[in-house]
Structure 1
Amino acid sequence: MSYQQEKELALRIVAEAAKLCQRVQKTEGGKAVKKADTSPVTVADFGAQAILCQGLIKEFPDDPVIGEEDATLLQKPQLEGVRQQIIEQVQQSIPSATSDNVIDWINWGNGKVAPRYWTLDPIDGTKGFIRGDQYAVALALVEAGEVKLGVLACPAFPRENGNKGVIFLAIRGQGAVEIPLEGGTATPIKVDSSSNFEQLYRIESVESVHSDRKVQTAIDQRLGLTYAAKQMDSLAKYGAIARGDAHLYTRVPLPQFKGKKENIWDHAAGVILVEEAGGKVTDLDGKPLDFSVGAKLSNNHGVLATNGVIHSQVLTAIQQEK
């Protein structure tokens, strides 16, 4: 299956959502409010989800959508100002949108896993977005538990010409490309297949709570890594591996979060990007990530993404640290 219609829609709505994020970043809307789990959320998170869901509803109304955000928070009276900012931002992209439309579009992301569904993260790396660093607008199509298409818009991602802003696209069996955020030629990308650990880079989250740094350091020593890990917020890390800027990414649960499972929207688009660029992604036990069971990767433990060449060696080092 070519997924041509899905590709064209995904590229269009992810680019539009990224434009909204860039607009909001220049306003007070770039400041965060806290969700029930204390994680930050901004006007851009809600606005981007509304744009993504509106496009999906219009072209694929029968496809469930599983997104990160929910508009329940916006019903609080003290957030009336935030709600109005979201509506106004969405209306700049979709002038006909009403306030009810925007809330309904956001809540369309409350779908359930089905044989075919979409999953999205309107802003992965909200803290990076707030700081003005890396973040990603992520969208993926899943069929029968396998990611078939993934798109990442990374407005702060560096390009070779010195500019910033990239859209990464991958379709199962069709490879991976990067496209300038403002549009232009799609350039095929591939992982760097180097295997000399002394010359390889691990990439990790800026936020230390996302992974067990102590275990990661021990694994680095076992592997013989000599360079300090690169740090990057969001799913953009998968883009760095797919493009050859880094070679491995490990997400090792901290002891206090041992039973915590990863969200599907935090990985789906990145998984297919790395795989179609020639790399490999599994959990820390070497099992493929299972996107068929719900909003969480309930059947998996942690995440490992590599250039593929070194994958088995990294898995061995991980097992030795258990």
Structure 2
Amino acid sequence: MYTPKQRLEAAKAAVAQASAVCRHVQRELESVRSMFKDDRSPVTVADFASQAVVAHVLSSHLGKVTLVAEEDDESLRQQVADGKRDLMDAVLAPVRTVWPGATAEAVLDAIGLGGAEPPPPTDPVHGFWTLDPIDGTKGFLRGEQYAVSLAWIEVGVPVLGVLGCPNLSRDFSRPFDDPDPSGSMYVAVAGEGVYELPCDNPAAPALHIRRLEPAEGEPIRMCESVESGHTSHSDSERILEKLGEPAEPARLDSQAKYAVVARGQADLYLRMPTKKGYVERIWDHAAGALIAQEAGCAVTDGLGRPLDFGQGRGLERNKGVVVAPPKLHGRVIGAIRDLGLIES
């Protein structure tokens, strides 16, 4: 059995190394694209590499782990079995920058660790990890914002979260489309607050951050995705109009949005459903939700219900996501209700 401190240090090391691997792939975007003649190939390479590194580091520090992650090893393993090694070799190259001597079989086994199923939420003993190796694929492919998101969940509740944002500057004046050379990492433990540190140096002194309510009468700055694939921008605009004069939105991809609201660079993160029946994945929100909560924000779905991470791989009991300081959050939930935007 490992202590919470050992678990935290393992998570920080895993996210830092995975972030370094993702940086390596992002620097080589064009060469990877030309190799595979596929615009999305770099994120495929980085997804596999990031997941392999996180699984390897957690296992090295903690022994056997239960990891519920976005990727699985089946397709890549089949390609290798068929004698098609181009993608495997492309994954190995960045992995070996932090895991020297990694073999194809070891990397495939590490990726495969992410195929675990979450234990029942009624199990008080067996927690599990959930990972999104690259959250914000469109941002990654544009050379902009993305995140490596890792959380430890117990009894259906995230209790540890580490969010690596390799391109996110701690300088608010730096535009989101201008990658920062060090990036930012956010680390939260339930009941202990959230801390910010350089993504490329997890041993550096950490800054405790705390979110305050926006000043009365100030325009509300919403944080939303660059594109509307995962949220309805039109619904978001209606909500803001009901709340008052909106500020220019902060548009960036990935769970970095949780961090941007937590640290006070934006006031509100809305993720409104785009289609009936859509279910969010737990790895898309677990780390970010804990980070925002520990900074002092309220985090619920669009009906004001807590996010329930105890329903398998999806947030099956939730519709949408709302993140904001508590008073503003209450006003947003009221606006959603008054506008009839989400069916209960």
Shorter-chain TM range is over 0.9
User: CA offsets per residue over residues 209-243 of structure 1, 9 Å max, x none?
Assistant: 11111211111111113213210110000010110
Corresponding residue for residue 290 of structure 1: 308
Amino acid at match of 1:150: G
Q: How does 1:1-322 map to 2 (within 5 A)?
A: 3-27=4-28, 28-29=31-32, 41-74=43-76, 75-76=78-79, 80-114=85-119, 115-160=126-171, 164=181, 165-183=183-201, 184-196=204-216, 198-254=218-274, 257-322=275-340
- Secondary structure of the 1:297 match is coil
Query: 1:42 offset after TM fit, Å?
Result: 2.3
User: CA offsets per residue over residues 113-149 of structure 1, 9 Å max, x none?
Assistant: 1240000111101111111100101100000111001
Query: 1:71 offset after TM fit, Å?
Result: 2.1
Distance 1:238 1:95, change over 3 A: same
Distance 1:40 1:307, change over 3 A: farther
Query: 1:192 offset after TM fit, Å?
Result: 3.2
Distance 1:224 1:33, change over 3 A: farther
Contact preservation (8 Å) 2:15, 2:149: yes
RMSD between superposed Cα atoms in Å:
2.2
- Secondary structure of the 1:96 match is coil
Amino acid at match of 1:284: G
- In structure 2, stretches of 5+ residues that fail to align are 120-125, 175-179
Contact preservation (8 Å) 2:197, 2:205: yes
Whole-angstrom CA distance in 2 between matches of 1:78 and 1:218:
53
Contact preservation (8 Å) 2:43, 2:141: no
Whole-angstrom CA distance in 1 between matches of 2:134 and 2:167:
12
Whole-angstrom CA distance in 1 between matches of 2:41 and 2:267:
29
Whole-angstrom CA distance in 1 between matches of 2:236 and 2:84:
40
Contact preservation (8 Å) 1:30, 1:43: no
- Secondary structure of the 1:106 match is helix
Whole-angstrom CA distance in 2 between matches of 1:214 and 1:44:
32
Amino acid at match of 2:167: A
> Which consecutive aligned stretches of 4+ in structure 1 deviate over 4 angstroms post-superposition?
30-34, 161-164
Whole-angstrom CA distance in 1 between matches of 2:17 and 2:326:
33
Whole-angstrom CA distance in 2 between matches of 1:58 and 1:12:
11
Length-normalised TM-score, structure 1: 0.92
Whole-angstrom CA distance in 1 between matches of 2:271 and 2:90:
35
Distance 1:258 1:40, change over 3 A: farther
Percent of aligned positions with the same letter in both sequences? 39
